[in-house]
Structure 1
Amino acid sequence: MTDLPLLSVRSATRLYGSRVGCEDVSFELYPGEILAIVGESGSGKTTLLNCLSCRMALTGGSVSYRMRDGAMRDLATLTEAERRFLMRTDWGFVHQNPADGLRMRVSAGANIGERMMAVGDRHYGRIRQTAEDWLGRVEIPGARIDDRPTAFSGGMRQRLQIARNLVTGPRLVFMDEPTGGLDVSVQARLLDLLRSLVGEMGLSAIVVTHDLAVARLLSHRIMVMKEGHVIEHGLTDRVLDDPQHAYTQLLVASILEV
């Protein structure tokens, strides 16, 4: 990790009329760091993720990102074209439902290749070879390169979505409940894969999850949200092994001992 933050969040607030989506959230994310945002349904974690990733406008506060030239830019000041370019190149977004992050009517190879073309690659042979390589990296047989995601299982679709996001070497990946809706055995394989890829590529990531086991396995730091507010924030092992806030203690205590 470097001394300079990749993402700087100051008093981020999103209101829905009189209802709080998230309020007064501040933190910094550094290169190579994984932050987990946890909390029950309605805690504000997905609203915050959508604000951080420019999918939703802030009501107040700011989110700044360090561009590749080293300049820190307030995301609210970017043009729509600049934002779209950032989302196609520097950022990835892994949806809970892979159908939201894939083009279901084109092949697995085309899903990966489309992302490569967004950063200017036009060499068909290289695109196809890279797509096949990435299918192997996410444990999908290369022979399935011309199959559509509609023919894949839920776990395979999620792995394809990860390949599509990571093929361009993004610097920051947003993940919204990446293992939600998958069988426990499929979840475990996917988490191992995510952890190895993120570590190998030195990515920064923000992971929203209600599953503390996912947070423990993937993240360096954890932020606990309740009713739109951050109530505890610290190193993952410290927060989960010695929670200070009564709500965090309740969350940790609710994990069934196997």
Structure 2
Amino acid sequence: MNAAAAQIENLDRSSEALPLLSVRSVSKAYGARIGCTEVNFDIWPGEVLAIVGESGSGKTTLLNCISTRLEPTSGTIAYRMRDGEMRDLYQLGEAERRFLLRTDWGFVHQNPADGLRMTVSAGANVGERLMAVGHRHYGELRATATDWLGRVEIGADRIDDQPRAFSGGMRQRLQIARNLVTAPRLVFMDEPTGGLDVSVQARLLDLVRGLVNELGLSVIIVTHDLAVARLLSHRMLVMKDGRVVEHGLTDRLLDDPQAPYTQLLVSSILQV
């Protein structure tokens, strides 16, 4: 077990260590087809949870339900607001949910074009999030954007370039900067390394791991890649046919999987 996983396992889950997000009996049906069914878990401050499974397993449906992008058929999803109150996300008004997405949450898409404005500059992409929380001073906006571009390994000389002039890896790093500049407490990531070359993936994963540790973020990441799950996550939730088949500490689950489906996933990776 790695040190981070041990720390999560030993958290004092008292009134001083309360979950940030609680998912209870969440299901989503598309007519007769199951997207996900009866999913339960909590995520704690500073914890990274990986949701893994093959294509069609229901992991992206679940992520979209949790992040209010897709309303579940049943169940509840409660989030601890900054005032400490636990609120049912689907009892919030639309404006309140949009505000969470712009400020307290981040969402990193697999295709960075879905999370960026491609026809404005890199600096403007980062600055827009800051403006959503009240920043208006142009010099400060530009200075903060420059700082964050540097943190995601984009040169300051590219601040006025549009994302469409960037490589895929640079676009993904810009999307990360855009999401993290407002110091969100919870970040959703949907296959953030998908479609990138292996060497680019490795650099991006190192960057994400460093920022998550530095900022103490809670992250829910969807991935089909168990290597990504092992590198980034404390706990892992394995899905098949819309159902959770196994859930536990990442290292423990990957080193000693109990569910036949998880055993199959792990063995298929080892055989590659």
TM-score range, shorter chain: over 0.9
Deviations 1:103-143 (A, max 9, x none): 00000000000010011100100000000000000000010
Structure 1 position 137 matched with structure 2 position 151: yes
Residue matched to 1:193? 207
Structure 1 position 65 matched with structure 2 position 55: no
Match of 2:34 among 7, 12, 20: 20
Structure 1 position 161 matched with structure 2 position 175: yes
- Count how many residue pairs are aligned between Structure 1 and Structure 2: 258
- The 2-side partners of 1:92 and 1:24 are apart by 25
Deviations 1:114-173 (A, max 9, x none): 010011100100000000000000000010000000000000000000000000000000
Superposition TM-score, scaled by structure 1 size: 0.99
TM-aligned CA deviation for residue 257 of structure 1: 5.5
TM-aligned CA deviation for residue 3 of structure 1: 1.7
- The 2-side partners of 1:3 and 1:124 are apart by 38
Q: CA RMSD in A?
A: 0.9
- The 2-side partners of 1:173 and 1:242 are apart by 28
- The 2-side partners of 1:82 and 1:43 are apart by 30
- The 2-side partners of 1:74 and 1:31 are apart by 18
Structure 1 position 11 matched with structure 2 position 51: no
- The 2-side partners of 1:96 and 1:193 are apart by 16
User: How is 1:156-235 mapped onto 2 (pairs within 5 angstroms)?
Assistant: 156-235=170-249
Could you list the structure 1 runs, at least 4 aligned residues long, displaced by more than 4 angstroms after superposition. Answer: none
- The 2-side partners of 1:30 and 1:146 are apart by 38
- The 2-side partners of 1:200 and 1:65 are apart by 23
Residue matched to 1:52? 66
- The 2-side partners of 1:210 and 1:175 are apart by 12
- The 1-side partners of 2:271 and 2:152 are apart by 30
Deviations 1:58-99 (A, max 9, x none): 100000000000000000100000000000010000000000
Residue matched to 1:119? 133
Residue matched to 2:259? 245
Residue matched to 1:33? 47
% identical aligned pairs: 77
Unaligned runs of 5+ in 2: 1-10
Unaligned runs of 5+ in 1: none
> For 2:68, what is the secondary structure of its paired residue?
coil
Structure 1 position 80 matched with structure 2 position 86: no
TM-aligned CA deviation for residue 256 of structure 1: 4.2
- The 1-side partners of 2:17 and 2:105 are apart by 21
> For 1:181, what is the secondary structure of its paired residue?
coil
Residue matched to 2:7? none
Superposition TM-score, scaled by structure 2 size: 0.94
Structure 1 counterpart of 2:49, one-letter code? L
- The 2-side partners of 1:102 and 1:181 are apart by 17
> For 1:12, what is the secondary structure of its paired residue?
strand
Segment drifting more, 1-10 vs 70-79: 1-10
